[in-house]
C-alpha cells in the first residue's frame, strides 16, 4: 500500500539563462529544453540526498518532458530504478497559449536516458487544447487516484514513490493529496515535498503534508519559486524578463547605498538632568531631523537634543569582533537631556538644514570614484533628498558610560 509520496520539480532549465544563446531542444520539440549546467548540478544534489532518504523510494514517475526525465536520472542511477514517463504529472499549458506541445515518445526518451521504461503507458494524458487552472487540478487529482488504486491493487508491496513534475502540476498534485485547493506549496527547482497517508489505502484528500519546499541539500538553496499568483507561465519568457528586471533593480539599489557613521555622545549627567548617561547596548534608537542643526534623539526611554560638533581630525571605527576597519567620521552629535511635552495645533517653523550627512555621502562617492578611476558626480550632493524615515538606524557599540558614553550609529539607504 502506498504510504509516502515525494514530489519534486525539475532542475534549472537551459532556456532560463539570460546571458547566453538558448540551446536547441534535444528532442526538437517546442518548450522541451534540457537542463542548464546548474540544473544538472541540482539534479545530482537531489539524487545524492534521495538515495538515502527514509522511507526509501521504490518507484519513480516523471513528466515525459526531457528536463524532468533528466532530473530523475541521477536518483534512478543511485537506486537502480526505472523511470516511468507519466503524462498525469506532465506540464501545464494554458488554453489561450498559441501552441500546446506534446512530449517525445518513450522510445525517443529511451535513446537519451536508458532508465526510461519504454513499454509503460501513461495513466492520464493532458488534453490537446490546453487546460485552465481548474482542469489542471482535476487532471492531477484523477491521476493520483488512478495511480494509487492501481498500485495498491497490483503491487501492494510498493509503499513509497517519487514524482518528478513541473511548478504548476506540482502545486496541483499536493493540493489534491491533502484536499485543499488553496494550499501554499513552495516550488523551487529540485526542492522536495513529502506527503504521508493518514490511513491505509488513502486516496486524494486523505494525506497530510509533512514538509514542503525542502532545499537544505541544494548548494544554492531555493531557486525559481513560482505560484499561481504570478501573472506569467512558470519559466516563460515574460517570467524570466520579470525576474531579471527585479534582480537588476535590487543590484542598482545596493550600488546606491552608502554607510555613514555618526557618533552620539552622552556626557556624564547629574541625577537631576532628566536622562541617564548609562546607555544600554540593546536600547532602541530613534533620530528625528538628522539633517537639521539640532536633531532630536531618543535612546530607550530618554530624550535628548543634539548638537553637531566637528572633530579635530577623524575618528575611525572597527568591528569589535574581527578588528576590521568599517568607517570613519569627522563629526559627532553631542546630546543633552530634554523633557518631552505634547503641544497641539502648534505651527513649527522650517528648521535650518545642515549639510553634515550630505557632505559625508559626497566624500564617500568621491572616494569611490577615485578608486574606480572616474570623476566624482558634478551634481551637488545637497540635491539629494534625505528622509529619516527611510533610514535604517542600528546601534553598533557603546563605550564607557562612566566617562563619555559614545553610541556609534550606522545610517543606511541614504
Nearest of 308, 304, 354 to residue 331 by alpha carbon: 308
4-251 and 258-340+350-412, same CATH topology: no
Report the distance separating Cα 410 and Cα 351, nearest Å: 23
- CB of 104 closer than 8 Å to CB of 32: yes
**What pLDDT does residue 385 have?**
42
Find cell 536518483 and name the residue. 75
Q: Read off the DSSP letter of residue 170.
A: H
Nearest of 5, 6, 11 to residue 222 by alpha carbon: 11
The domains of the chain are located at 4-251, 258-340+350-412
Decide yes or no: CATH 3.40.50.1240 for domain 4-251: yes
Report the distance separating Cα 54 and Cα 188, nearest Å: 22
Which residues are CB-contacts of 321 (< 8 A; sequence separation ≥ 6)? none
3-state secondary structure 177-231: HHCCCCCCCCCCCCCEEEEEECCCCCCCCCEEEEEEEECCCCCCCCCCCCCCCCC
What is the model's pTM?
0.62
Q: Is the dihedral of CA 407, 408, 411, 412 positive or negative?
A: negative
Report the distance separating Cα 305 and Cα 317, nearest Å: 24
**What pLDDT does residue 390 have?**
34
**What pLDDT does residue 398 have?**
34
pLDDT in tens, the chain (414 residues): 999 999 999 999 998 987 778 889 999 999 999 999 999 999 999 999 999 999 999 999 999 999 999 999 999 999 999 999 999 999 999 999 889 999 999 999 999 999 999 999 999 999 889 999 999 999 999 999 999 999 999 999 999 999 999 999 999 999 999 999 999 999 999 999 999 999 999 999 999 999 999 999 999 999 999 999 888 777 777 777 777 777 677 666 655 555 666 777 776 655 554 555 566 667 788 888 777 888 888 887 788 888 888 766 666 666 555 556 666 777 778 888 876 665 554 444 444 555 556 666 667 677 766 766 665 555 544 444 433 333 333 333 333 333 333 344 443 333
Q: Is the dihedral of CA 35, 39, 43, 46 positive or negative?
A: negative
Report the distance separating Cα 339 and Cα 187, nearest Å: 54
Query: What fold, for 258-340+350-412?
Result: Immunoglobulin-like (2.60.40)
The residues that bridge with 302 in the sheet, in sequence order, are 299
**What pLDDT does residue 309 have?**
80
Report the distance separating Cα 59 and Cα 112, nearest Å: 20
* Strand-by-strand arrangement of the 4-9 sheet: 83-85, 59-62, 160-165, 4-9, 192-197, 207-214
pLDDT tens per residue across span 154-170? 999 999 999 999 999 99
pLDDT tens per residue across span 193-246? 999 999 999 999 999 999 999 999 999 999 999 999 888 777 777 777 777 777
- CB of 306 closer than 8 Å to CB of 318: no
Nearest of 386, 375, 377 to residue 414 by alpha carbon: 386
Mapping DSSP to helix (H, G, I), strand (E, B) and coil, where does residue 173 land? Answer: helix
Report the distance separating Cα 304 and Cα 340, nearest Å: 9
Amino acid at each position: 500500500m502506498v504510504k509516502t509520496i515525494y514530489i519534486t520539480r525539475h532542475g534549472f532549465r537551459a532556456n532560463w539563462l539570460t546571458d547566453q544563446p538558448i540551446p536547441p531542444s534535444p528532442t526538437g520539440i517546442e518548450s522541451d529544453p534540457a537542463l542548464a549546467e546548474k540544473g544538472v548540478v541540482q539534479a545530482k544534489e537531489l539524487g545524492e540526498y534521495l538515495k538515502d532518504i527514509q522511507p526509501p523510494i521504490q518507484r519513480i514517475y516523471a513528466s515525459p518532458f526531457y528536463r524532468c526525465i533528466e532530473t530523475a536520472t541521477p536518483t534512478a542511477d543511485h537506486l537502480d530504478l526505472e523511470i516511468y514517463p507519466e503524462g498525469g504529472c506532465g506540464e501545464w499549458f494554458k488554453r489561450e497559449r498559441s501552441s500546446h506541445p506534446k512530449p517525445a515518445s518513450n522510445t525517443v526518451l529511451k535513446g537519451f536516458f536508458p532508465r526510461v521504461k519504454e513499454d509503460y503507458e501513461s495513466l492520464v494524458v493532458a488534453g490537446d487544447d490546453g487546460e485552465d487552472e481548474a482542469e489542471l487540478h482535476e487532471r492531477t487529482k484523477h491521476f493520483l487516484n488512478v495511480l494509487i488504486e492501481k498500485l495498491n491493487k497490483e503491487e501492494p508491496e510498493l509503499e513509497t514513490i517519487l514524482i518528478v513534475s513541473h511548478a504548476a502540476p506540482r502545486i496541483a498534485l499536493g493540493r489534491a493529496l491533502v484536499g485543499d485547493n488553496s494550499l501554499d506549496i513552495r516550488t523551487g527547482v529540485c526542492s522536495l515535498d513529502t506527503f504521508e497517508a493518514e490511513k491505509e489505502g488513502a486516496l486524494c484528500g486523505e494525506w497530510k503534508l509533512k514538509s514542503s519546499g525542502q532545499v537544505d541539500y541544494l548548494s544554492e538553496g531555493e531557486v525559481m519559486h513560482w505560484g499561481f499568483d504570478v501573472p506569467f507561465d512558470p519559466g516563460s519568457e515574460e517570467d524570466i524578463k520579470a525576474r531579471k528586471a527585479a534582480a537588476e533593480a535590487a543590484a542598482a539599489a545596493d550600488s546606491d547605498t552608502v554607510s555613514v557613521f555618526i557618533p552620539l555622545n552622552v556626557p556624564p549627567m547629574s541625577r537631576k538632568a532628566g536622562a541617564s548617561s548609562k546607555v544600554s547596548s540593546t536600547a532602541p534608537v530613534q533620530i528625528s531631523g538628522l539633517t537639521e542643526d539640532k536633531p532630536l534623539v531618543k535612546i530607550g526611554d530618554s530624550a535628548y537634543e543634539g548638537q553637531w560638533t566637528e572633530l579635530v581630525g577623524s575618528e575611525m571605527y572597527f568591528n569589535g569582533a574581527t578588528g576590521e576597519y568599517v568607517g570613519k567620521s569627522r563629526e559627532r552629535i553631542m546630546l543633552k537631556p530634554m523633557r518631552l511635552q505634547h503641544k497641539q495645533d502648534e505651527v513649527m517653523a522650517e528648521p535650518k538644514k545642515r549639510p553634515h550627512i550630505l557632505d559625508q555621502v559626497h566624500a564617500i562617492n568621491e572616494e569611490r570614484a577615485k578608486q574606480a578611476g572616474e570623476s566624482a558626480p558634478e551634481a551637488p550632493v545637497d540635491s539629494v533628498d534625505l528622509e529619516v524615515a527611510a533610514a535604517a538606524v542600528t546601534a553598533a557599540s557603546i563605550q564607557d558610560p562612566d566617562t563619555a558614553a559614545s553610541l556609534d550609529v550606522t545610517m543606511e539607504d541614504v
